[in-house]
Homo-oligomer: A and B are copies of this chain.
Amino acid sequence: MGTASTAADEPDDALAPEVTKALRARGMRMTTQRERVLAAVSSVVHATPDALAAVIAADGGPPLSLSTVYRNLEALQRVGVVSCTSMGQRAPSYHLATHTDHVHLVCRGCGEIAEVTGRFARDLAESVEKESGFVVDSRHLALQGWCRHCADVTAARSEA
């Protein structure tokens, strides 16, 4: 989506060089493939490694081997640019770590993923941190539950 850069405000394209630095600081290198994985992660809200590979393959260049995708996600995680939240059994979800204060709502009924943005997470994180010293990652939180539709269905069921 984005083309030109708007100075020091759009992480979109300014991300790569920054990440390159971070990588080199740990003896790792920036490669074409790694950059593509990074781009893919930043262009999608949630994605499994598999889905990311598809996104990458679709964006013009040659497809990447799945193992490369896995290895790069791990590398980017080590550097802290990407993080991963499992949103259910079969769905490790990777996303940019720079996203702030999203709360993802994963429906146990239909699997749909909704999102609310706001201070919710931050509040929770603060309370928990104060109480236990545990630093909660409030940037991207995944909660499970039931969307409005499935909540109805469930209610109906328990009457049966």
How many copies, total? Answer: 2
Is the pair A118, B131 in contact by a Cβ cutoff of 8 Å? yes
Interface size class of A (residues with CB under 8 A): 35 or more
Stretch from A3-11, A50-58, A103-111 contacting the other chain: A103-111
Report chain B residues within 8 Å CB of A1.
Answer: none
Report chain B residues within 8 Å CB of A127.
Answer: 120, 123
Quick one: which of A116-160 are within 8 Å of B by CB?
Answer: 116, 118, 120-121, 123-125, 127-128, 131-137, 141, 143-148, 151, 154, 157-158, 160
A45: Cβ under 8 A from any B Cβ? no
A30: Cβ under 8 A from any B Cβ? no
Is the pair A116, B89 in contact by a Cβ cutoff of 8 Å? no
Quick one: which of A62-102 are within 8 Å of B by CB?
Answer: 80, 83-89, 92
Residue of B with least CB distance to A84: B89
A114: Cβ under 8 A from any B Cβ? yes
